[in-house]
Structure 1
Amino acid sequence: MSVSTGSAHSPTLDTIRMVEDFIQEHSGEYRRRALWERLPRKVMHQTFKTIIEYLLESNKIAIDARGKVCWIYDPDLARRYLARKDLRIR
């Protein structure tokens, strides 16, 4: 999966992590625009949109019925699931 959309707005890993951390801390509090306006550092809007698209595609976030951005990724659950002995990868 590529983070780049082919534009000059490719986010750095540091910027992606900053957005991820902010969303985790404020899960379900803000809609996209309000979230973008409240980030700890300024991010170009196109870059922010690219990050949101990436986080949606990677199932780390979801947008609820009210348009609020929610963190849904649970790495501990994923690890427990993958560690199950009865899990067969095909």
Structure 2
Amino acid sequence: MMKSTGMLRKVDDLGRIVLPKELRDNLEINSADSIEIFTDGGRIVLQKYAPGCCFCGNLQVTKMVHEKKVCRSCVELIGGR
């Protein structure tokens, strides 16, 4: 569910906006973190990037295989143990 923060920011000439410090602190977003950008109809949705399974994107990663994150379902699907 979307919740209004009541915070407004203007877009600068380069198309940038500043995320308020309070919002970054609440969402644990640091200066070097990557942000994913989605659209939903006429909305822009920003989300802190959290890499998941390299096959399906599941965030419940259980195993590292050759430096790639893999979830339990995909491990079972490819026959790994």
Whether TM-score is above 0.5 comes out as no
More helix by share: 1
Structure showing greater Rg: 2
More strand by share: 2
TM-score, normalising length: structure 2 = 0.31
TM-score, normalising length: structure 1 = 0.29
